[in-house]
Amino acid sequence: MDIHELTPGEMADRSGVAISALHFYEREGLIVPNDRVPTSKDWGRLSAGWRQDLDDRILHLQRLRDNLTGCIGCGCLSLKTCALSNPGDVLAEQGPGAVRL
């Protein structure tokens, strides 16, 4: 079987990760080219570290989506009621429009 070792550039193209990131991962011991095919145990160890970060990002994006839908869905586009674009707005108590000169 003819085995072709990927160059860093080919690996970057296939993985979508910058070459500099691949070198960083290698220096940090996160990836090691020791002439073997990664096992499911290898993948499990790597992906476990990403799981919480991905879950946190998903939750943040879902909240962002839900808040945007609520704001756009009501049609008011009011800074008075929109906690997403203007959290803690103390000037809203004075009503809409310009109040500071």
Please give the chain's pLDDT, 101 residues, in tens.
566 788 889 988 988 889 999 899 889 888 877 777 778 888 888 788 788 889 999 999 998 887 776 555 555 566 555 555 556 666 667 777 666 66
- The whole-number pLDDT of residue 20 equals 92
Which pLDDT does position 60 carry in this prediction? 93
pTM: 0.39
Question: Cα–Cα–Cα angle for 92, 94, 100, nearest 5°?
Answer: 90
Token readout for 37 is: 């095919």
User: Which residue's structure tokens are 């674009």?
Assistant: 85
Distance of CA 34 to the CA centre of its chain: 30
**CA 78 – CA 64 distance, rounded (Å):** 17
What pLDDT is recorded for position 85?
Answer: 58
Query: Structural domain boundaries of the chain?
Result: 8-88
Q: Which two tokens stand for residue 58?
A: 């998903």
